[in-house]
C-alpha cells in the first residue's frame, strides 16, 4: 500500500481544529456560541483555533448583529472540506496499513 502521509494536514492535527472541521463539514454554518458549546471549549480557545483555520482558508466567518448582539458564524470553504477529506483519507490509510503490518 502506498501511504500518502503528506496528506496528513498539520493544521488538522489539533483535535480542536479537527472537531471544528468535522462539525462544519456536516452543517452549512454554525455560530460561535453553538460551536463553543458543542465542542466544550472556552471562548479564547475557540477564537485561537478558528483564526488558524481562517488563516489557512479552511473556514470563513461572517459577523452580523442579531438585534444588538454581535454574532459570528463560521462555515467551511471548499478548500477546507477538501483538506479535511484528504486528511481523513490519509488517517484511514495509515490505520489500515498498521493493522495489516509491514509488507514483506
Count how many residues are written for the chain. 104
pLDDT at 10: 94
**Is 100 part of a structural domain of the chain?**
no
Q: Is-above-0.85 flag for pTM?
A: yes
Q: Please give the Cα distance from 71 to 86 (Å, whole number).
A: 31
pLDDT at 24: 98
Per-residue pLDDT tens digits of the chain, which is 104 residues long: 556 677 789 999 999 999 999 999 999 999 999 999 999 999 999 999 999 999 999 999 999 988 888 899 999 999 999 999 999 999 998 888 888 876 54
Domain count, the chain: 1
pLDDT at 3: 60
**Is 55 part of a structural domain of the chain?**
yes
**CATH for 37:** 1.10.10.10
For residue 85, what are the CA distances in angstroms to 21, 44, 48, 58, 81?
10, 27, 22, 12, 6
Amino acid at each position: 500500500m502506498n501511504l500518502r502521509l503528506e496528506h496528513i494536514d498539520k493544521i488538522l492535527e489539533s483535535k480542536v481544529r479537527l472537531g471544528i472541521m468535522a462539525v462544519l463539514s456536516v452543517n452549512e454554518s454554525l455560530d460561535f456560541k453553538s460551536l463553543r458549546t458543542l465542542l466544550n471549549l472556552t471562548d479564547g480557545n475557540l477564537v485561537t483555533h478558528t483564526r488558524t483555520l481562517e488563516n489557512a482558508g479552511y473556514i470563513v466567518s461572517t459577523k452580523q448583529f442579531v438585534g444588538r448582539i454581535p454574532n459570528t458564524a463560521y462555515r467551511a470553504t471548499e478548500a477546507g472540506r477538501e483538506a479535511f477529506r484528504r486528511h481523513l483519507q490519509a488517517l484511514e490509510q495509515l490505520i489500515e496499513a498498521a493493522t495489516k503490518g509491514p509488507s514483506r
